[in-house]
């Protein structure tokens, strides 16, 4: 072989070696990306402004998950349907103006709170107990009543429990308006589905029972400025509606309400309070949220006769604080936890029951 040919051959070999190295490293890098995913370069662009209860807050949620968004009101054609939907929205945002102490439709039908106090931004906020999954999942069987409930029954549940008030007549214009608004919000959700961001964000259990005395300490640091020393909240000047809604006492939700269950309270508060808080930037630890739930829900509040709730006792949730129970745990354990063992027991019972159903 001539010297010249040798050189060319060596060059080709070197180039081939180089190429192999590049391919090798490229391959390893690709494999790593496939296994561990791309590094997270996204920035949390949550823009929040300091606010009082009445100010509207601008927020832009940038997240990897595509959360549900309410339909745009501008897409509504100008007709009586639109008027009804917007009337429903206003009742949800300003319920006290219609049914509170100086209610336009009916006085003192409710405790003075608004649906929006718990269904934030008129039931549109991501993980703010929004209404996105109502149209798609009702009518449905609910274990609390042991019956199939339609949307009217579910709305009246909140009137009678969360607002500690009286049910609306189904045919009333107000009930029809609330239902029209909630159905419109969920109109693009497929039947039977719950979109990402609906209801509450899930949260881990503690390994211990929730501790009301620690909750009291957290309350005094992080909640008392708005919800006040006796949990009474703050009325507006004319005492016709709340600027800051009450957390306990005569004007609060009663012991049959959803928030009276520790898990609902903890999830609501962790991802929404102090107001305003967004689920991707919580201000409370899990322990603080559970302990706050235990503290607030051991204070005095209105009572409802709920002896007919959860007619099938094996369907009572782990945090329903009134016996009798089918799972062998007592009322104190169901009220404060630790909830993990109760939940596991209930899951096991459910599994066995399903198995028996299949074999019989």
**Is 154 near ligand HEC (CB under 6 A)?**
yes
Query: Cβ 306 to ligand HEC, closest distance in Å?
Result: 13
Q: Give 3-state DSSP helix, strand, coil % of the chain, rounded to 5.
A: 45, 5, 50
**Is 199 near ligand HEC (CB under 6 A)?**
yes
List, in sequence order, every residue forming a beta bridge with 149; answer none if it has no partner: 140
Query: How far, in Å, CA of 169 to CA of 173, rounded?
Result: 9
Closest CA to 114 of 202, 194, 178: 178
Q: For ligand HEC, which stretch binds (CB under 6 A), given 15-23, 61-69, 221-229, 332-340?
A: 221-229
Q: What is the H or E stretch that residue 149 is in?
A: strand 147-149
Query: Cβ 42 to ligand HEC, closest distance in Å?
Result: 27
Q: For ligand HEC, which stretch binds (CB under 6 A), given 10-18, 32-40, 60-68, 266-274?
A: 266-274
Query: Cβ 116 to ligand HEC, closest distance in Å?
Result: 5
**Is 277 near ligand HEC (CB under 6 A)?**
no
Q: Contacts with ligand HEC in 284-303 (CB under 6 A)?
A: 284, 292
Binding residue for ligand HEC, selected from 127, 244, 278, 310, defined by CB under 6 A? 244
Query: Cβ 210 to ligand HEC, closest distance in Å?
Result: 13
**Is 170 near ligand HEC (CB under 6 A)?**
no
Instruction: Count the Cβ atoms, other than its own, within 10 Å of residue 137.
Output: 17
Contacts of residue 32, Cβ cutoff 8 Å, sequence gap at least 6: none
Instruction: Count the Cβ atoms, other than its own, within 10 Å of residue 147.
Output: 11
Query: How far, in Å, CA of 124 to CA of 122, rounded?
Result: 6
Beta strands in 172-241 (DSSP E): 234-235
Query: Cβ 242 to ligand HEC, closest distance in Å?
Result: 8
Q: How many CA atoms lie within 13 A of 317 on its CB side?
A: 15
Size of the site for ligand HEC (CB under 6 A): 45
**Is 113 near ligand HEC (CB under 6 A)?**
yes
Query: How far, in Å, CA of 326 to CA of 312, rounded?
Result: 9
**Is 103 near ligand HEC (CB under 6 A)?**
no
Task: List residues near ligand HEC by CB under 6 A.
Answer: 53, 92, 95, 113-120, 129, 131, 133-134, 154-155, 158-159, 162-163, 178, 182, 199, 222-223, 225-227, 244-247, 253, 257-259, 264, 268-269, 273-275, 284, 292
């Amino acid at each position: 072989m001539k010297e010249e040919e040798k050189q060319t051959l060596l060059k080709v070999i070197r180039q081939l070696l180089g190429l192999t190295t590049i391919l090798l490293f490229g391959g390893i890098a690709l494999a790593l990306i496939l296994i561990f995913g791309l590094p997270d370069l996204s920035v949390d662009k949550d823009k929040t402004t300091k606010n009082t209860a009445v100010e509207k807050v601008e927020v832009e949620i940038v997240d990897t998950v595509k959360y549900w968004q309410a339909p745009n009101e501008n897409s509504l054609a100008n007709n009586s349907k639109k008027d009804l939907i917007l009337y429903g929205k206003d009742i949800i945002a300003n319920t006290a103006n219609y049914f509170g102490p100086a209610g336009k439709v009916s006085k003192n039908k409710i405790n003075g709170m608004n649906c929006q106090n718990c269904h934030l931004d008129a039931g549109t906020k991501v993980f703010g107990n929004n209404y996105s999954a109502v149209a798609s999942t009702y009518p449905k069987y609910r274990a609390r009543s042991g019956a199939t409930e339609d949307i009217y029954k579910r709305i009246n549940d909140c009137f009678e429990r969360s607002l500690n008030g009286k049910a609306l007549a189904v045919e009333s214009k107000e009930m029809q308006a609330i239902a029209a608004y909630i159905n419109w919000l969920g109109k693009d959700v497929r039947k039977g589905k719950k979109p990402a961001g609906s209801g509450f964000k899930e949260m881990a259990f503690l390994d211990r029972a929730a501790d009301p005395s620690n909750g009291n300490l957290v309350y005094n640091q992080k909640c008392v400025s708005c919800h006040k020393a006796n949990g009474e909240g703050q009325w507006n000047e004319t005492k016709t509606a709340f600027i800051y809604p009450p957390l306990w006492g005569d004007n609060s939700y009663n012991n049959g309400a959803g928030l009276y269950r520790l898990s609902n309270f903890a999830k609501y508060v962790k991802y929404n309070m102090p107001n305003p808080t967004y689920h991707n930037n919580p201000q409370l630890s899990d322990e603080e949220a559970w302990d706050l739930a235990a503290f607030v829900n051991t204070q005095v509040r209105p009572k409802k006769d709920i002896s007919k709730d959860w007619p099938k006792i094996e369907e009572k949730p782990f945090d329903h604080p009134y016996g009798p129970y089918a799972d062998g745990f007592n009322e104190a354990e169901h009220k404060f936890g630790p909830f993990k063992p109760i939940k596991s027991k209930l899951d096991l019972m459910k599994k066995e029951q399903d198995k028996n159903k299949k074999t019989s």
